[in-house]
Each structure stands twice: as structure tokens, then as C-alpha cells.
């Protein structure tokens, strides 16, 4: 019987100490194989039907990982495109509440409408800042810059109390942090970070037809958003998909071919097991930092650790074969399933020199 460790070691053999999943996840070996297979189909002129099957398999896998019916999942290429759909659905004068310095792909679409009021508050005050005039709360589950986790339960309850909707960006959490997307109105996530897929694939969870798709208009709809896509290639689409698939964007087939294999690995391992592994490594790093006299930004329970004042060490760490990020002067390390305690200790050892 394969264990967590044996499954992971069969898929990854990085040549360096890679602690930068918050920027880009590593591709499993099975994903690389799937990408090669997909490219060969195109190169050899063979039918591409299996690649479209990959898109549907990925949609179903993401639905399982986030706890929603597959009918509530659309596939696209970026978080910003789905934020733009939500922004377009809001009435003039509506208030959107965000966390200060949240990721631009989440917040910027709302700033592009001059007739909306976008109010940013500290993350820890987000739930308390929801008020009667708030139409939408938009927040990342885990902050990109420093890994802080939003108090989602408090945000959800505050939003319900004031009649607001909630839009989550799970790009820095999907794949390691269990989240019940069914409890929220909207959720988007990219596939190239903790889900370990190629660039060019993203997901969107929205209300289904019974809730009128959350009031969204499928402004990006092309042929792939039709109920019968291959019958929707010419002229206006006569019948949009009856599911949230009506918000699909024409798929980057190679990306989904690879992502199918990556999500299969996450499902085999189990998000709960990945979560326990990742958070344990992050906690090991936090304890080691304390021993070195460094205090990270408080982000309990997160797989991302950000250390003020050490961002300038990023280039030297890279020269030493350790990949982390420099974010606004902070050193950001992100720990995922392919990392080990030895990786943590090596980073601490180099920082101690």
C-alpha cells in the first residue's frame, strides 16, 4: 500500500530546495507526462477529443475538492475575469468591502468601475466592517503577501446579517486548506500554485440556476459556454449552458490536460493530509525563526510564512539553491506536500549564517 511519502517521492525530485509554491507550484511527474501526451496529439494531427474530456474531469475534481456540485463550477484562465463578471453585476453605488493590500487580481476589477465604492480595511477587521450598505465582501482565503488566513466563518455570518454576498479568492489555499465553497456565493482560484498545474487554468464557483446564477451575466461567453458547445460555433449562442458552465472561457487544453493529473494526485493524497503536512512544516520554520531571533508575521495555521526585514536575502538564498520570495521586503516561504523537514532545516541553517 502506497503511503503519503511514497506517493510524493514518486512524483517529485526537485534539484533545489523549493519553498516558493505561493508563486508557482512544482509539476508532478504524471503532469509532465500528460502534457507531453497532449502536445503529441497536436503535433501528430490526431483528434483532440480526449483533451476536452480532461476539462470535464478537472471540473469534477475541483468540485469534489471544494465541496460543491459540479454544476456550480466554471473553468477559465484567470481570477480577474471572474471578478470582472461580479463587478459588472453590481448596481451603481454599491459598496464592495475588501482587505487592505489584498491581491490585485481579486480587488482591481471592482476599482475599474468608477461608480462602485470600494472600501479596504485591515484583514482582522473585515467581518466587523460589514455594514448595511455593503453589497459584497471580496477577500482571499489566504493572503498572498504573508499567508494570513481570513476568518471566513465570521465574514460569512456578518455578510448574511447585512444582506451582503461573499466572494473568495482561493488561489493561495486551494490544494492545501479545506474550504467548503458551498457556504459562499462566489469562489475563484488559479490552478498553477497549490494545485500544481500549468499556467492558464482557473476555476469559478457561482450560484446555480435555482439562484439565477447570482445575478451574473455571461459577458465572456463564446461557443464553449453553450449548452451544446459544438452546435454553438456560429452566430449568437442560442442556448447557454444550464449550469455555471455558461461562464466557461474557451479552455487552454494543454493546461487542463496537465491539471487533470495534478488534481488526481491531490485527491489520492487527500487535502486533509496535505494540510497537516504543510502546516507542520510551516510551524517547524516558525519555531526555528524564533530560535534565530526573527519574528514572522502572525499567520497561525497557514502554510505560508512571511518574515519582515529578510526579503533582501532572497537572491543569496537562490544562489545557495533555496527558492523563496521577496515580498515588500519580507522573505516569504511556502511549504507544500513535496517539502520535507530537511528543507526547513536547510533554510534555517543558511539564514543563521
Query: Coil, strand, or helix at residue 233?
Result: coil
**DSSP E strands: which ranges in the chain?**
17-18, 73-76, 95-99, 117-121, 134-140, 165-169, 186-190, 202-205, 304-307, 322-323, 325-327, 330-334
pLDDT of 328 reads: 83
* Residues forming CATH 3.40.640.10 domain(s) in the chain: 39-267
pLDDT of 1 reads: 64
As a whole number of angstroms, the distance between CA 187 and CA 164 comes to 15
pLDDT of 2 reads: 80
pTM reported for the whole predicted model: 0.97
Kindly give, in sequence order, each residue whose CB lies less than 8 Å from that of residue 70, ignoring residues fewer than 6 positions away: 59, 60, 63, 243
* Residues forming CATH 3.90.1150.10 domain(s) in the chain: 4-27+270-352
| CATH topology for the 4-27+270-352 domain | 3.90.1150
In the chain (353 residues long), the average pLDDT of successive 10-residue segments reads 91 97 98 98 95 98 98 98 98 98 98 98 98 98 98 98 98 97 98 98 98 97 97 97 98 98 98 98 98 98 98 97 95 98 98 94
CATH classification (class only), 39-267: alpha beta
Amino acid at each position: 500500500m502506497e503511503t503519503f511519502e511514497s506517493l510524493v517521492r514518486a512524483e517529485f525530485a526537485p534539484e533545489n530546495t523549493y519553498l516558493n509554491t505561493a508563486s508557482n507550484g512544482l509539476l508532478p511527474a504524471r503532469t509532465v507526462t500528460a502534457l507531453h501526451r497532449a502536445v503529441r496529439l497536436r503535433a501528430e494531427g490526431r483528434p483532440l477529443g480526449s483533451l476536452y474530456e480532461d476539462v470535464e474531469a478537472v471540473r469534477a475534481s475541483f468540485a469534489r475538492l471544494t465541496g460543491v456540485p459540479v454544476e456550480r463550477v466554471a473553468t477559465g484562465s484567470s481570477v480577474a475575469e471572474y471578478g470582472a463578471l461580479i463587478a459588472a453585476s453590481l448596481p451603481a453605488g454599491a459598496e464592495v468591502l475588501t482587505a487592505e493590500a489584498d491581491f490585485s487580481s481579486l480587488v482591481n476589477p471592482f476599482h475599474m468601475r468608477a461608480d462602485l465604492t470600494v472600501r479596504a480595511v485591515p484583514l482582522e477587521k473585515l467581518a466587523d466592517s460589514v455594514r448595511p450598505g455593503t453589497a459584497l465582501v471580496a477577500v482571499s482565503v489566504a493572503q498572498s503577501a504573508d499567508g494570513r488566513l481570513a476568518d471566513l466563518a465570521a465574514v460569512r455570518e456578518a455578510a448574511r446579517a447585512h444582506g451582503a454576498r461573499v466572494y473568495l479568492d482561493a488561489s493561495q489555499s486551494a490544494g492545501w486548506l479545506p474550504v467548503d465553497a458551498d457556504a459562499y456565493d462566489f469562489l475563484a482560484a488559479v490552478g498553477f500554485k497549490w494545485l500544481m498545474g500549468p499556467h492558464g487554468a482557473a476555476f469559478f464557483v457561482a450560484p446555480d440556476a435555482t439562484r439565477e446564477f447570482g445575478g451574473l451575466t455571461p459577458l465572456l461567453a463564446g461557443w464553449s459556454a453553450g449548452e451544446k458547445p459544438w452546435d454553438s460555433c456560429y452566430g449568437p449562442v442560442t442556448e447557454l449552458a444550464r449550469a455555471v458552465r455558461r461562464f466557461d472561457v474557451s479552455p487552454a487544453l494543454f493546461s487542463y490536460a496537465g491539471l487533470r493529473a495534478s488534481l488526481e494526485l491531490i485527491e489520492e493524497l487527500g487535502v486533509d493530509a496535505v494540510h497537516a503536512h504543510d502546516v507542520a512544516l510551516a510551524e517547524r520554520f516558525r519555531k526555528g525563526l524564533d530560535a534565530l531571533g526573527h519574528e514572522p508575521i502572525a499567520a497561525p495555521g497557514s502554510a505560508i510564512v512571511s518574515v519582515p526585514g529578510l526579503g533582501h536575502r532572497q537572491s543569496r538564498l537562490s544562489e545557495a539553491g533555496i527558492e523563496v520570495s521577496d515580498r515588500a521586503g519580507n522573505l516569504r516561504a511556502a511549504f507544500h506536500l513535496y517539502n520535507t523537514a530537511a528543507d526547513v532545516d536547510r533554510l534555517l541553517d543558511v539564514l543563521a549564517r
